Each structure stands twice: as structure tokens, then as C-alpha cells.
Amino acid sequence: MIERKKQFLIQWIASIAVLVVLLVLVNGVARKFDQRLDLTAAGIHTISPETGKILSRLQEPVTLEYWVSERLPSGLQNLRRDTVDYLDEFQRAAAEAGGRVEVKVIDPARVIEQYVKEQSEDGEEKEPDPMAAFMGGPTSPADTKKQELAQQGIPELQGRSVKEDGIEVVPFYSAIVLKYLDRESEGIPVHTTLEGLEYELVSRIAKLTLESKPVLAFFQGRPEDVITQGPDGTPLPAPMSHFDPLLDALGERFEIRKVELTEESLVPDDAQLLIIAEPNGTTPRQRFEIENSIRSGRPVLILASTTSGSMDRGFQLTPLSPGMSESFGPWGIDIQPNMIVSSQSQCGSIETVTEGPLGLRMRVPQPFPVCPGSAGNNLDRTSPFTRGVQAIIFPYASPLIVNQEVAKAAGIEITTLASSDGDAWLTPFGPSVTGAMVTPPKDPALQKNRVLALVAEGKFPATFAAGSKVPSWDPTLEITGGEEDAPLVQETESKESRILLVASADMAKYTSLSMYRQNVGFLMGSIEALALDPDLAKIRGKVQISSSLRETTREERSIATYGNLVGVPLLLAVIYGLMSASRRSASRHHEAMYMLKVPAEGDDEKEGR
Amino acid sequence: MSSIMVVMRRECGAYFRTPIAWIFIALQMAIMSFFFFQYSPFFIIESADMRVWFGLTPFILMVFAPAVTMRLWSDEIRTGSTEVLLSLPVRSRDLVIGKWLAAVIVLLGSVVASFGIPATLGWLASSVVDWGPIIGGYIGTVLAGMMFLALGCWVSALSSNQVVSMLLGVAVGIMLVLALSPDFASYISSSQPTLARVIESLGVQSHFQAIERGVLALSDVVYFLSGTALFLTLCVFQVELKKQ
């Protein structure tokens, strides 16, 4: 008996050992040949094939350092794990594509701790300097290291953690630093979401590995009045142009070349993108050059409207004439010579002078009327141009009219990127605030969504007939039929290109960008999406559906909470109660039936009697 | 197969005809809903997802699965009905799988009872909810639940005392969830990188978290199925040992 049991035990232990070995092997194989199914709607955990393509061009390994604290604030608790997983996946995708990416996860607290330890071992520990603290400088070795890290693009951040008795401020780190060869490192100093991380990483890797910056051509259609001399004749420094802050910001990423679209200053051949800001009175030759640029496959960003505004000396409006309609018309686009008024304008208020009681003139604040915005469902947030943008403000915007039939016939696909809210109406130009800008029209049908930004894609047909004369650089000669020896327009095949048309010339000006910060993100993002590698644009277009809760009432929150917390358990209790009652009733019924069927004791005897 | 179904039906009856399963499911729902709506900043973060819910799941399963399964064998051993059961012309394997399947049905009941949460998200969300990670979370719950129930079955067969069985199950669960957690692995990763990798690959959390993020990886599925197979085999071994 004991022998049998012993044999049984040996057999079983051996079987279990074999099973364990088998399971370890199976797990190892599954890990090695892992297959993943990304269940998220946008596939955010999957590295795009476009990324693989870009990473395959890496000659040397790129190092990704993820500097992250052990303790993160509420709402970011999954960030560390998700990012580490994502970076591992990124590394795997790079390896599959033939590129080399190394991932390092570093806890800044340990680095700081190590630094402090080394300092104390070296005997360099100093007494806290109260003066340094007063001047905002480092007061301890830990502070010195923190400042050093911040200079490397790894700043200490602050978040909030919800505690039982309130909210606690939590200092933390979450930054990604990319290193390639001996080049200056690139970084994401504040990394708090996986959304768009693929693009952020790949675009930085692309930048790190580029030999030179991509070129942007910038054409300002309405030159500014520049005073070069003071009243006493002394030369004055060149004033800042309206668009200089935007160009300065773009300068970090691109090489900006200003062009005037004259015979001497044409669009450079190596320009990746042409930006046309505030076109006004565009000459036929300039239009010809712009059209050629588009048809050569170079994407174009056009910031055009029929009005420009200024608040410098009160509320003033200036009419503009973009002069692009002869090209846009055959492509199915028109810029109407009106302004869009929105009662839901989020641009603050202006003061207008109105007649008050006793004929007194009074300054009355009015909502800034000609400043439509686009947000929510009016903004296509799935587009690479608007990724991560919550709202865009279009000051002094003109409505864009799209004729899809004409566009389709021309082989152009037009997509609306942003439109105004549904109660926007149009008003003709006025030099200042008019009644039509403040009072909505009586006919409600005149209030509707107006297109504020669009993307046109395709092979744009030429609007200058082949064989006709190329317009002269001197527009006055065009009135008399142009130059006699002007070259003829050659028939050329158009390449695939894109136009991003924004119906506000002022939105990219410094005054607007400083007031409406959301426009900076839109402009920078869309310029990147237009100018960079088409593969990068595709990656940029990958967005996660991050649904948030709508505004809820106290009652709705109570229903949600107590419906699940109390309602479901109560429902289960009721179901169980009903089932038990039904069983009891069935059992009583059976019992009753049994009592009826089974004869009572002694009945047989009575019957047999 | 039919004998597995017979055993399963019998155990299901024992769960659902008595208040056991109902109390477990109701209690689990109440606790998780409390943490989800009251304790976590659900209405502060305003994110229409179930990450907090699924974040709690391994911890809840670690306690509730042994509680559900503690009576499966311990009770039989205590009352002496094991001898009758083992004398029946049913293989030990079928008995173990049948009992385990009944416990899985209780788990599925708790999963169905939690459908009020995604319904609430659908109701309160400002736009379309990304259902992928939620579906992933439920797949992870079922897979991890199956493993914890198998573990519970095994420890239940180890002792005739239900409380001892449950405590033993919770202890092993704590080891799988907490001791082998990614946080612990991360803590020792700088000094013991190999051990950290082993710990992370053995722990439940790293596999569960990957699924509930919305990434269904073959390695994670294989991990949970392997764990289930191992614990069920150990349970069959324990039952066979009693036969000897």
C-alpha cells in the first residue's frame, strides 16, 4: 500500500515537473513570437508601418531615456507603466525594421540621491546659502542637480494627488530625452500622455538624424509700413514684423527664407512648404508663381481673408483683396468679401461709443463680434493638421465657399477642417463696428456654420492656358496685353499637392497668437504636417479617442454612483428573492401534490375492509 | 464531457440556489463600485474609461476567488462526502473541471453584473467611448479570474477547513499580485535586473495590465491559461492523492 502510494507520488511529481517545464517553454515561445491585437479604436499601442520606415533609415542607435518618478500624481498613475510598455514596443518595431533604438528608464530621484551622496563623499557638501535661496539659486546639492536636469530638458513638474482630506501637490518627473551620436539631444520635457507619443518620438528622431533643417518659404502678401529713420534722421532698428514671432518659433525646426515673389526673390527649389500670409493685391505673375509652386507638388499654407483688423488705435478694420480668386475659382474655392460674425465669440470685448441719455456719448463694452471660433464637433480633430487642438480662433475671418462639384471636376478633394458655430452670420465690410456686426439678422436662415479652414488635395489644374503669355512682373503691362517678348506658358503635368487655406490673415499675427494661445498649436502643428515627411504626417494623424465625461449634474452623478453601488446589489437580492420564492412555491406545490397522491396511513386497511 | 457537465450543474445549483453566489457578486459589485465612484477621483478626472475599475480587479480577484472556491473541496472533505464522490465512476479530472467551471460561471455572473459601469460611461461620456480597452479589461478579468479560481480549487483541496483554504488561497494570490508586482520588479531592477524580469513575467499584474490597456498579447493569454492549467493539474493531483 505504502509502495503504491510512493509510486503514485513519484509519478505525479514527475508529471507535474514535466508540465511545469512544458508551460515554461510554451510561455517562452509565446513571448518570443508574441502576437498582439490592439483593441483601441485608433490603434494607439501599435507602431505604424510609417514609423518602421523612418526608423529603418537609422545608421546608428538612438537612445531613448525615459526619466520618470516612482510616484506620480493622480490621473498619471498608469503613465510610467504605459510609457515603458510603449517604448519597449517602439524598440521592438525599430528592431524589426532594421533600426536600432535603445530604451533606458531612469528614476531622477535616484540620480539626485547618487549625486548628493557623491558630493558628501567628496566633502563638497555646503551649508545652505540663504542668499542663494533669496536669489532663486540652488540651495543644496539636490537643488543643483535638479537645475542641471532642468537644463538638460528634464524639469521637475508638479501634479495634484487627491487625498482623503483634500488635494496634495506632488512633485514628479516625466520626460523623454532622445540622443543620437554626438548631436544635441532632443527631448519631450513634459510627457503626460501616450496620445501622439509615436509622432513626438519619430519627428524628433527624424530631426536628430537630418543633416540640415527643412526649408520653408515665407511670403508676406501685405508688406508692413516700416519707419527706418527717426524724426531727427537717425536710423531706427528694424521693427518686429507681425509674423516674426511665428517665424522665430518655426526657426527652431525649419530654415525660414522670406520671399517677395519678385523676379529677384522667387520660391527656392528646396523649399518644403510655401507659406502665404495675408495675400493682398496679388499680381497675376505672383499668382502664376504660386500656382506653379503648388503644381510642382509643394504644399502651401495660405492665410487669407478680405479684412484685417487692428486694435492698436481703437477698433479698426482694413479691407484686403487676396487676388487669388482666378486660381481658386476653377478649383472650387472662393473667399467671400464679407466678415463672419459670431455671437459665441470668445475673444473678449471691445468698447464702442454710443449715444446715451441726454445725448451724452458713452463708451459701452460690446462682445468682440468678428472673431469666430471653431471647437467641438465643428473642428475635425481626426486630421493631422488639428491633432491635439481643442479650439481655434479666427479673428476677422472671411467665409470660405466650397463648390464640391467644381472641385471634383478639377480632380481636387476638399475637406472642411474647421467651421464656425451654427449661429454665425455675415456682415459686409465696415471700417469699424456697425449695427450688422452686433445684431443678428432677422432671418434665422442666414445664421449657419461657415467654413473657416479647409484642405484641398489633388493635382491642381493650371488656370493659365498653355500657349498664352506668362504674365509680366510689372502688373501695369498686363493692362496693355503684357510684354511683347514674354515667354509662353508651357503645358506641364501637375503633381499631387495640398493647400491648407485658413480664412483669417490675422490669426498668425503676433497680437492674435499672444491672445489666443490655442492658435499657436494649430499653426505649428499644421505647418509641420504640411512640410515634413508624408510618413510623419500620417503618424501625426493617428489620434486616440479620449472620451471625457460630459458636464454632469449632481443628480446624474448620484444616479450613476448609487445605481451601481446600491442598485445592482439590490437587483441581485431581488432576483435571488424571486427565485427562492418561486422554488419554495414549486416545492409547496409538489408537496401538496404528493400529499394528495399518497394515501393516508390506514386508508388501505379501510379500503381492504 | 457529460460527467463534467453533471458536476458543473450540481455545483452551480449549490452556488445559485443558496445565497452564496449572489452575496459574492453583490458584495464584489458594491466594493468595486465604492472604490470606482467614491474613493477614486472618477468625477474629477472625468475620463470615460474603466481603468480604475480594472486596476482593482486583480486585488478583488485575489480575495474573492478563494472565497468562492473555498467550499468546493474543503466542504466535501469535512463532511466526508469526498469518499462517496471519489467512489463514483467519474474521473478526478472531470470532477475538478466540473467544480472549477461552476466557479467560472459565478465569475461570469459578476462580470455581467458589472455591465452597469460601461452603460454608465456610455450615458455620461461626451463623445464616443473607446470600447477596446474596456473589452480588453473584461477579457483580462475572465482570464485572470479563471486562473485565480483554479488556484482556489487547488488550495481548497488541501484542507478540510474552509477558512484555512481561503487564507491559503489569498496568501498565494498576494504573492502573485503583490510580491511579483511590476512595482517590486522596478524597485529591484537596478540591482537585480534578471530577477526583476523573472518577477515581472511571473506576476499577474504585468500581464493583466497589458490586456486592460487594450492590447491582447498572445504571451499574456498563454500566461493565464498556463497558470489555470497548472493549478487545475495540482488540484487533480491532490484529489488523486486522496483516492490513494
Residue A609, pLDDT score: 43
Query: Closest chain A residue to B40 measured between Cα atoms?
Result: A162
Tell me the three state secondary structure of residue A57. Answer: coil
CB within 8 Å: A572 and B218: no
Give per-residue pLDDT as tens, A196-227.
888 889 888 888 887 788 899 999 988 776 66
- Exposed, middle or buried: residue B50 (CB in 10 Å: 0-12, 13-18, 19+)? buried
- Exposed, middle or buried: residue A419 (CB in 10 Å: 0-12, 13-18, 19+)? buried
Residue B82, pLDDT score: 79
Contact A159, A76 (CB under 8 A): yes
Chain B residues near residue A30 by CB distance under 8 angstroms: 218-219, 221-223
CB within 8 Å: A561 and B37: yes
Report the pLDDT averaged over residues A9-32: 88
Residue A159, pLDDT score: 83
pLDDT at A495 over 90: yes
Res. A598 pLDDT band, cuts 50 70 90: low
Please tell me the distance from the alpha carbon of residue A456 to that of residue A576, in angstroms, as a whole number: 62
Please tell me the distance from the alpha carbon of residue B62 to that of residue B205, in angstroms, as a whole number: 11
Question: Where do the domains of chain A lie, and which CATH numbers do they carry?
Answer: 41-122+140-204 (3.40.30), 215-224+239-473+486-531 (3.40.50.880)
Give per-residue pLDDT as tens, A516-546.
888 888 898 889 888 877 777 777 766 655 5
- The alpha-helical segments, DSSP class H, found in chain B are 2-16, 20-33, 42-45, 51-79, 81-87, 92-113, 116-124, 131-156, 162-174, 182-188, 193-202, 204-212, 218-243
Query: Closest chain A residue to B128 measured between Cα atoms?
Result: A547
Residue A317, pLDDT score: 83
Q: What percent of chain A has pLDDT over 90?
A: 29
Query: With a CB-CB cutoff of 8 Å, which residues 57-116 of chain A face chain B?
Result: 70, 74-75, 78, 81-82, 85, 105, 110
- The alpha-helical segments, DSSP class H, found in A104-177 are 108-121, 130-134, 141-151
| Number of domains chain B contains | 1
Res. A234 pLDDT band, cuts 50 70 90: confident
The domain containing residue B216 runs over which residues?
A: 2-243
Tell me the three state secondary structure of residue A101. Answer: strand
CB within 8 Å: A564 and B36: yes
Contact B211, B217 (CB under 8 A): yes
Interface with chain B: mutation pick from A565, A566, A570, A579, highest number of B CBs within 10 Å: A565
Please tell me the distance from the alpha carbon of residue A394 to that of residue A344, in angstroms, as a whole number: 13
CB within 8 Å: A40 and B130: yes
Length of chain A in terms of residues written: 609
Q: What percent of chain A has pLDDT over 70?
A: 86
Q: Nearest CA of chain A to the CA of B3: how many Å?
A: 23
Q: What is the mean pLDDT of each run of 10 residues along chain B (244 residues)?
A: 86 89 92 85 74 89 92 86 81 92 95 93 83 91 95 91 91 88 68 76 85 86 94 91 78
Residue A77, pLDDT score: 64
CB within 8 Å: A39 and B26: no
Res. A429 pLDDT band, cuts 50 70 90: confident
CB within 8 Å: A563 and B26: no
Q: What are phi and psi of A128, to 5 degrees?
A: -55, 130
Residue A608, pLDDT score: 46
- The alpha-helical segments, DSSP class H, found in A314-434 are 325-328, 404-409
Question: Where do we find the cell 508551460?
Answer: A23
Higher pLDDT, A58 or A81: A58
Contact A68, B183 (CB under 8 A): no
Please tell me the distance from the alpha carbon of residue B133 to that of residue B142, in angstroms, as a whole number: 14
Give per-residue pLDDT as tens, A263-308.
999 999 999 999 999 999 899 999 999 999 999 999 999 999 999 8
Q: What is the ipTM of this complex?
A: 0.85
Residue A602, pLDDT score: 52
